[in-house]
Amino acid sequence: MKRIHIRGARVIDPANQIDQLGDVWIADGRIAGVLHAPAGFAADQIIDATALVVCPGLVDLRARPREPGHEHKGTIASECAAAVAGGVTTLCCPPDTDPVIDNPAVADLIHHRAGLAGKARVVTLGALTQGLKGSQLSEMHALKQAGCVGVSNALKAITDTQVMRRAMEYAASLDLTVFLHSEDPWLGGGVMHESPVSARLGLTGIPETAETIAVGRDLLLIQQTGVRAHFGNLSTTRAVQMVARVQYDGLPISADVTAHHLHLTDMDVADFNANCHVRPPLRSARDRAGLLTGLTRGTLAAICSDHQPHDADAKLAPFAETEPGISSLEILLPLSLRAGQEAGMKLIDLITRLTYGPAKILGINAGTLNIGVPADVCIYDPHAFWTVNEAVLVSQGRNTPFSGWELQGRVRYALVGGRMVFQN
């Protein structure tokens, strides 16, 4: 295996509170040295990283490669290639594949295919209930044995609170983190944020309470069961405040936000832009401000892509008939950098939300440049401006509302286990 010397970079490693100019050395696929050269290191390859940032490879809490089941939208090979093009070296796949990840075979299949693709690492969440149907518990122990890093019911609500309580209790006994998408299925039946815009467009609205009521219920059950839980994809200021209050009380909960919710609002839906059809919906400008505050304060410990590539037909219909989601792996980093800038965050804190923060939530040994860990590294040019063009995305999904946006920050190299998997 190549011994690599990355030279002259701005090294950012949040886990070790490093943000300074220096070098990184990689040997045997692992980090061999940061800032201080290991003794007797003879490099096979030198990467000149002058004016570039070197940080741990990004860890994405939620990205759907669409395989198995929806290969016309994306495959593990195509989406893992997209991931590393965006500096993402580990992505977490939710269990709503087809078939559902409610048995070890599906988890094994995904891990195996990801290994064959040889780009980003893929970790999986097991289903919380069988078939995500919300009635019977899945075999969580078997899923854990198969390598699932947590359990989740993905976008499917568990309406029966007794089932939810027991699922949390069972996951807690197995020391599994429960990943929640908290949305009241009845209030959440619309297609966009309930607001003057939805009233104007005649689209069924999803009120803020669709999120706050579900978060409130789940917070109380977390308190009761003592499970470790993570709220995915918060979209409202009030939900962020509710989570912050309970975190302050010391409950073991975390939360994330998507990069697109940090930039877009319900206003962007006008006139019926199907690429802005996402779930949970893009909220008001005030909610966006609240999400940025939550990000700055650390209530939101991670930014994820919530990558959902689609075939063209999925978005070619009147708004309400289109499928929600954005193809977003490749723009996660520059969108996050821009949000961090707007919120006045220090770069190291922003990078935390993309690396060490999500890795801790998943409980995996990633997102750091600790000596001896597998060398998953992202090297990006913080000064490069580029314009998003959906036609040249690596992902099979071309569905992005950010086409034409000029963004700053472009990935130059990505390494996974010390192997160069992307170079630009």
Partner 1 sequence: MTTRNLQLDDKGRLRHFLTVEGLTRPILTEILDTAESFAGVGAQAVKKVPLLRGKTITNLFFEASTRTRTTFELAAKRLSADVLNINISTSATSKGESMLDMLRNLEAMHCDMFVVRHASSGAAHFIAHHVAPHISVVNAGDGCHAHPTQAMLDMFTIRRHKGEFHKLRIAIVGDILHSRVARSQIHALSLLGAHEIRVIGPKTLIPRDVSTFGVHVFHDMRAGLADVDVVMMLRVQKERMQGAFLPSEHEYYQLYGLTEDKLSCARPDAIVMHPGPINRGVEIDSRVADGPRSVILEQVTNGIAVRMAIMAMVLGRGASDDGETRRSGERA
Per CB under 8 A, residues contacting partner 1 are 194-196, 198-205, 207, 268, 271-273, 313, 316-322, 401
Task: Map the chain to HEC letters.
Answer: CCCEEEEEEEEEEHHHCEEEEEEEEEECCEEEEECCCCCCCCCCEEEECCCCEEEECEEECCECCCCCCCCCCCCHHHHHHHHHHCCEEEEEECCCCCCCCCCHHHHHHHHHHHHHHCCCEEEEEEECEHHHCCCCECCHHHHHHCCCCEEECCCCCCCCHHHHHHHHHHHHHCCCCEEECCCCCCCCCCCEECCHHHHHHCCCEECCHHHHHHHHHHHHHHHHHCCCEEECCCCCHHHHHHHHHHHHCCCCEEEEEECHHHCCCHHHHCCCCHHHCCCCCCCCHHHHHHHHHHHHHCCCCEEECCECCCCHHHHCCCHHHCCCCECCHHHHHHHHHHHHHHHCCCHHHHHHHHCHHHHHHHCCCCCCCCCCCECCEEEEEEEEEEECCHHHCCCCCCCCCCCCCEEEEEEEEEEECCEEEEEC
Provide, rounded to whole angstroms, the least separation between the CB of residue 313 and partner 1: 5
Provide, rounded to whole angstroms, the least separation between the CB of residue 410 and partner 1: 24
Closer CB to partner 1, residue 14 or residue 205? 205
Provide, rounded to whole angstroms, the least separation between the CB of residue 223 and partner 1: 31
Closer CB to partner 1, residue 105 or residue 285? 285
From 13, 23, 102, 306, active-site residue: 306
**Both structure tokens of 160:** 């029966």
Closer CB to partner 1, residue 273 or residue 408? 273
Provide, rounded to whole angstroms, the least separation between the CB of residue 285 and partner 1: 14
Closer CB to partner 1, residue 1 or residue 270? 270
Provide, rounded to whole angstroms, the least separation between the CB of residue 204 and partner 1: 8
Provide, rounded to whole angstroms, the least separation between the CB of residue 139 and partner 1: 37
Closer CB to partner 1, residue 205 or residue 340? 205
Closer CB to partner 1, residue 272 or residue 386? 272
Instruction: Say which residue the tokens 């800032």 belong to.
Output: 35
Our CA angle for 143, 414, 326, nearest 5°, is 65
Please confirm, yes or no, whether 306 is among the known catalytic residues.
yes
Residues labelled catalytic: 306
